[in-house]
């Protein structure tokens, strides 16, 4: 996935959000990226996930949610969303999911469509 | 014909079984056959069924759920085609029977078939009544496009696909009874604007009186459904398709579709054509036999028994059982004497139960009425000679099980009539279940008695879903599910196995609390991730389990706990309470609710400086600063320079106090001082759910100590009463007296010991108002006051360890625990949405 993302850099869809260390392991942080609100999570295995930061149910802050390997739970009403796809497992509308990874210098790179 | 050929092919030449033919494959016909099969009828009978609709048989009651989209049409079938095959029943679906030749014992169907019978059951049901309205039909005799009846799966599917077309914005439902209101609500879920036109003076006039109807109307209108009562539809406007309806004495209503729900009429054509006795419906005797016909029975909505025609499902079950007793000879003495009808359903989201009379009829009838229209609650009971002869309940049907039974059986009633309407400290619902008679009907849709459920449980089926599958209880409208669960729990004597996960402390680790704690201690697991790695299936983390595990580990290990911030809920990560708009509320500590001018000044300055949108007193005698953005939290805390008041986590929160003997003329103890001491000692202690405390200086209880998790009351003679398990929130409960002690030190000791016992034994999120009744106050007194199990010292020591490990979480303000701990999670959100007053 990362090679493909890099090839895409010229298309201007890639954004550098700064060091991975900004996000504690197991938590999420929100970023404003090109007018979008994106929540980036750092899983306990070190990998990253990125989804839209606002819960479609009642506008809850997704980056404040509790995560495990597969889902994030919105802190307001406990709606859960798959971190890979953004799909809700509890019947809410979906979040958008974004390709995200860390580059060689441990910077977070996210691609917006 | 092929079916005849195949049937004769299936029947062995020596098959001497009687030929049983059933006309009608709806709820009554299929139920009658089920009852016959249950009595071993398949040995005696070769069964053939005719159904007008091209389907197996389905639960017509659920059509409103199909309309609203809550249920898939496939999900409402009661018996699959396999069921017919397995029971060797020949089903002719989509075939209508036109005539019966009673002398030749043949039925003729519209596919040209003549089917011989030895025993015949007529279960033709009923159809929608189409009132005489101009323009209802096209010249060709079909319903005008856009007009629907609401009776069959096809009707329902037609309505859904019509309503889902974008330009269909508005519908009129003719009929404000049960079905009409269900149709209206269902159509709304497709984004259609709905008017209900009802010829009666009030909604559901068959089930309730004008006062109940008025309350119901308010609830229905609150859903956005317009209601026109005393209003008759005189014409459907349009010509080629529906464009509106014309009303008598009222302006026309423009609309794109019309649903006719103006009642039902029994289907009696085949009986009339065949010369059977028909008045309003097909006549039957107490054996469900058609008079003067030895081998013809009828059942369901198409029959008239002792002058009554029923349009509800419960009588049909009773009829089917009697019919089967006679057809199979299982009980030749069985008689059907009519049904006392009680309905209990959800109409357009409103609980409705009604039975017997709607209003008093005689001067001596008593009428007990409670009405609270703003909440949509209405309760009315008619009593004659100390027996219930009628009742209507709207919006709150908790007492319906008892009332139905009292109505059915004429039980003696309590002197205090108001207790018929409300639970006034009487037996709780579970005790109520124990008191129900065995033959009391629990599921009114499927006619399942308490006894039937109990027998199933005692037969070894101890899961709720298993009992529901086996008895079909709760599988009709579903409104009785809670009662079904209670009966299962009662019958299983607490040994319900419903869902193994229900016993787990947290869903992601398959262990109950005691086993989990033992495993954690044994393996020395000090962090949430270590617990998952060691004890969860596949070592998988589970987001739903994290907060409960973090709380448990902190309680167990106190200072030795390895704190992983991702295991905390956001409130516990930032030590403030998240609000609906993603901002937080900040509540500084005010021990015992006591503050000072200096503190107040500082709070006021902070509120000004950070533009706090709302400053509010909490129920626990603290000051709440609402609408603080996350990134401002450290600055707000720094400027307040007060410790956290714990208004967020699952933890010890506050001690509410009165002024007690310091100022109050009546105060007998220094409640303020004791409240402050308790709060100082136990501040921030984690627990399975929040803990709210109070100390009152005299039995006047100004601090509301009787409804707290732990409440203390000073009584005369310098003594103190300790209450536990009280609540005045979602649940209301007066606490149980744990002990009366002589001095404040003992209060602190026993309160701490109780809290520690609760921390160790309660389920995650189980408040003390559930925990105390569950373990029992006598047990708690024995363990905590009398130290009967020798746990006292251990509990006291564990609590002391937690007390010693206390650190004010707001101290993190100058040294965030994790990077970006207080960074906003809604970067582009500008204004808080919490209202500014």
**Alpha carbon A30 to its chain's center:** 8
Q: Is B407 exposed, middle or buried (0-12, 13-18, 19+ CB in 10 A)?
A: buried
What are the strands of the beta sheet with B106-109, ordered from one edge? B97-101, B106-109, B114-116
Place of tokens 């109520």: B432
Contact present, A49 and A26 (Cβ < 8 Å): no
Contact present, B51 and B76 (Cβ < 8 Å): no
Interchain CB contact of B295 with A (< 8 Å): no
Contacts of residue B529 in chain A, CB cutoff 8 Å?
26, 44
- Which of B562, B563, B564, B566 should be substituted to probe chain A, the one whose Cβ sees the most A Cβ atoms within 10 Å? B566
Contact present, B288 and B298 (Cβ < 8 Å): yes
pLDDT at residue B496, rounded to an integer: 65
The minimum CA-CA distance between A10 and chain B, rounded to whole Å, is 27
pLDDT tens track for A72-96: 999 988 889 999 999 988 778 899 9
Nearest to A30 among B546, B573, B827 (CB): B827
**What crossing angle do the helices spanning B597-609 and B633-640 adopt, rounded to 10°?**
150
Contacts of residue A22 in chain B, CB cutoff 8 Å?
819-820
Comparing C-alpha atoms, which of A50, A54, A55 is closest to residue A20? Answer: A50
Could you give the CA distance from residue A102 to residue A108 in angstroms, rounded to a whole number?
Answer: 5
SS3 assignment for B569-614: CHHHHHCCEECCCCCEEECECCHHHCCCHHHHHHHHHHHHHCCCCE
Nearest to B819 among A24, A62, A63 (CB): A24
Can you tell me the ipTM of this complex?
A: 0.89
Nearest to B825 among A61, A67, A71 (CB): A61
- Cβ-based neighbours of B648, under 8 Å, separated by 6 or more: B571, B572, B575, B576, B577
- Cβ-based neighbours of B158, under 8 Å, separated by 6 or more: B148
* B531-538 CB contacts, 8 Å cutoff, 24+ apart: B532/B508, B535/B509, B535/B511, B536/B508, B536/B509, B537/B510
Contact A23 B819 (CB under 8 A): yes
Report residues of chain B scoring pLDDT below 70. Answer: 1-14, 423-432, 469, 475-479, 494-502, 730-731, 827-837
A residues 79-98 near B, CB within 8 Å?
Answer: 80
- Which of B582, B585, B822 should be substituted to probe chain A, the one whose Cβ sees the most A Cβ atoms within 10 Å? B582
Contact B827 A37 (CB under 8 A): yes
- How many Cβ atoms sit within 10 Å of the Cβ of residue B830? 5
Backbone angles phi, psi at B796, to 5 degrees: -60, -40
Could you give the CA distance from residue B21 to residue B122 in angstroms, rounded to a whole number?
Answer: 9
Interchain CB contact of A50 with B (< 8 Å): no
Could you give the CA distance from residue B189 to residue B619 in angstroms, rounded to a whole number?
Answer: 38
Could you give the CA distance from residue B457 to residue B492 in angstroms, rounded to a whole number?
Answer: 6
- Which of A41, A63, A73, A88 should be substituted to probe chain B, the one whose Cβ sees the most B Cβ atoms within 10 Å? A63
Could you give the CA distance from residue B328 to residue B37 in angstroms, rounded to a whole number?
Answer: 9
Contact present, A51 and A84 (Cβ < 8 Å): no
Could you give the CA distance from residue B123 to residue B35 in angstroms, rounded to a whole number?
Answer: 14
Interchain CB contact of B285 with A (< 8 Å): no
Helix (H, G, I), strand (E, B) or coil at B818: coil
Could you give the CA distance from residue B22 to residue B24 in angstroms, rounded to a whole number?
Answer: 6
The minimum CA-CA distance between B446 and chain A, rounded to whole Å, is 30
Contact present, B758 and B765 (Cβ < 8 Å): no
A residues 9-28 near B, CB within 8 Å?
Answer: 21-28
Q: B47-57 b/e with 16+ CB inside 10 Å = b?
A: bbbbbbbebbb
pLDDT at residue B388, rounded to an integer: 87
* B341-345 CB contacts, 8 Å cutoff, 24+ apart: B341/B310, B341/B312, B341/B314, B341/B315, B342/B314, B342/B404, B342/B407, B342/B408, B342/B444, B343/B178, B343/B207, B343/B312, B343/B444, B344/B397, B344/B400, B344/B404, B344/B444, B344/B479, B344/B480, B345/B178, B345/B477, B345/B479
């Amino acid at each position: 996935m990362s090679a493909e993302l890099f090839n895409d850099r010229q298309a201007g869809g890639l954004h550098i959000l700064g060091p991975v260390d900004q996000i504690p392991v197991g938590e999420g942080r929100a970023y404003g990226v090109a007018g979008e609100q994106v929540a980036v999570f750092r899983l306990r295995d070190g990998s990253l996930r990125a989804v839209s930061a606002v819960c479609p149910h009642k506008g809850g802050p997704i980056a404040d949610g509790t995560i495990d390997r597969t889902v994030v739970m919105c802190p307001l009403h406990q709606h859960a969303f798959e971190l890979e796809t953004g799909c809700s497992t509890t019947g809410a509308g979906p979040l958008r999911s974004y390709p995200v990874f860390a580059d060689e210098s441990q910077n977070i790179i996210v691609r917006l469509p | 014909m092929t079916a005849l050929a195949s049937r004769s092919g299936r029947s062995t030449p020596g098959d001497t079984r009687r030929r049983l033919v059933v006309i009608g494959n709806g709820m009554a016909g299929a139920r009658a056959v089920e009852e016959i099969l249950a009595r071993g009828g398949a040995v005696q009978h070769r069964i053939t069924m005719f159904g007008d609709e091209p389907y197996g048989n389905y639960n017509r009651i659920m059509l409103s759920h199909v309309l609203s989209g809550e249920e898939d049409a496939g999900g409402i079938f009661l018996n699959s085609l396999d069921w017919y095959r397995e029971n060797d029943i020949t089903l002719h679906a989509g075939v209508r029977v036109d005539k019966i030749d009673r002398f030749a014992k043949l039925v003729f169907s519209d596919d040209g078939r003549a089917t011989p019978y030895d025993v015949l059951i007529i279960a033709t049901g009923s159809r929608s009544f189409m009132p005489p309205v101009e323009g209802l039909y096209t010249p060709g005799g079909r319903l005008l496009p856009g007009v629907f009846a609401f009776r069959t799966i096809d009707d329902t599917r037609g309505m859904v696909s019509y309503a889902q077309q974008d330009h269909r914005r508005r519908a009129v439902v003719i009929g404000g009874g049960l079905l009409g209101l269900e149709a209206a609500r269902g159509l709304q879920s497709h984004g259609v604007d709905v008017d209900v036109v009802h010829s009666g003076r009030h909604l559901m006039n068959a089930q309730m009186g004008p006062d109940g109807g008025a309350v119901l109307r308010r609830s229905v209108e609150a859903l956005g459904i317009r209601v026109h009562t005393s209003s008759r539809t005189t014409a459907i406007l349009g010509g080629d398709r529906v464009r509106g309806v014309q009303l008598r004495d009222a302006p026309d209503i423009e609309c794109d579709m019309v649903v006719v729900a103006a009642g039902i009429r029994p289907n009696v054509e085949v009986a009339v054509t065949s010369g059977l006795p028909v008045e309003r419906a097909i006549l039957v005797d107490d054996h469900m036999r058609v008079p003067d016909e030895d081998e013809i029975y009828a059942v369901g909505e198409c029959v008239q028994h002792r002058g009554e025609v029923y349009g509800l499902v419960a009588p049909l079950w009773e009829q089917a059982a009697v019919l089967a007793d006679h057809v199979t000879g299982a009980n030749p003495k069985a008689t059907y004497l009519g049904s006392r009808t009680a309905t209990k359903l959800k109409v357009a989201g409103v609980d409705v139960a009604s039975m017997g009379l709607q209003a008093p009829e005689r001067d001596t009838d008593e009428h007990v009425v409670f009405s609270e229209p703003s909440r949509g609650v209405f309760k009315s009971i008619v009593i004659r000679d100390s027996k219930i002869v009628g009742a209507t309940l709207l919006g709150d049907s908790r007492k319906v099980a008892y009332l139905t039974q009292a109505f059915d059986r004429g039980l003696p009633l309590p002197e205090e009539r108001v207790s018929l309407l409300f639970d006034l400290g009487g037996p709780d619902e579970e005790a109520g279940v124990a008191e129900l008679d065995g033959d009391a009907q629990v599921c009114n849709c499927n006619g399942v008695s308490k006894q039937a459920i109990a027998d199933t449980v005692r037969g070894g089926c101890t899961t709720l879903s298993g009992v529901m599958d086996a008895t079909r209880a709760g599988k009709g409208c579903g409104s009785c599910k809670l009662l079904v669960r209670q009966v299962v729990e009662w019958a299983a004597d607490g040994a319900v196995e419903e869902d193994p996960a229900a016993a787990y402390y947290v869903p992601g680790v398959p262990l109950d609390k005691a086993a989990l704690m033992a495993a954690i201690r044994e393996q020395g697991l000090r962090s949430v991730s270590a617990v998952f790695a060691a004890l969860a299936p596949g070592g998988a983390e589970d987001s739903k389990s994290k907060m409960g595990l973090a709380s448990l580990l902190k309680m167990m290990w106190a200072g030795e706990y390895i704190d992983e911030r991702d295991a905390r809920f956001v409130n516990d990560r930032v030590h403030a309470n998240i609000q609906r708009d993603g901002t937080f509320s900040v509540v500084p500590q005010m021990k015992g609710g006591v503050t000072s001018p200096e503190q107040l000044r500082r709070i006021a300055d902070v509120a000004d400086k950070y533009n706090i949108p709302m400053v509010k007193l909490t129920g626990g005698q603290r000051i709440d600063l609402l609408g603080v953005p996350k990134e401002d939290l450290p600055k707000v805390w720094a400027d307040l320079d007060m410790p956290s008041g714990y208004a967020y986590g699952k933890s010890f929160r506050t001690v509410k106090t009165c002024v007690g003997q310091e100022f109050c003329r009546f105060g007998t103890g220094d409640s303020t001082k004791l409240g402050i001491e308790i709060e100082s000692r136990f501040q921030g202690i984690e627990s399975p759910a929040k803990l709210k405390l109070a100390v009152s200086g005299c039995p006047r209880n100004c601090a509301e100590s009787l409804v707290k998790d732990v409440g203390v009351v000073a009584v005369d003679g310098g003594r103190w009463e300790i209450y536990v398990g009280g609540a005045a929130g979602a649940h209301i409960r007066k606490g149980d007296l744990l002990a009366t002690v002589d001095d404040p030190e003992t209060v602190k000791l026993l309160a701490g010991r109780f809290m520690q016992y609760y921390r160790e034994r309660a389920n995650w999120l189980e408040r003390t108002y559930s925990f105390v009744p569950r373990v029992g106050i006598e047990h708690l007194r024995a363990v905590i006051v009398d130290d009967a199990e020798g746990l006292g010292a251990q509990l006291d020591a564990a609590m002391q360890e937690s007390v010693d490990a206390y650190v004010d979480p707001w101290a993190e303000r100058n040294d965030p625990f994790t990077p970006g701990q207080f960074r906003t999670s809604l970067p582009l959100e500008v204004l808080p949405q919490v209202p500014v007053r």
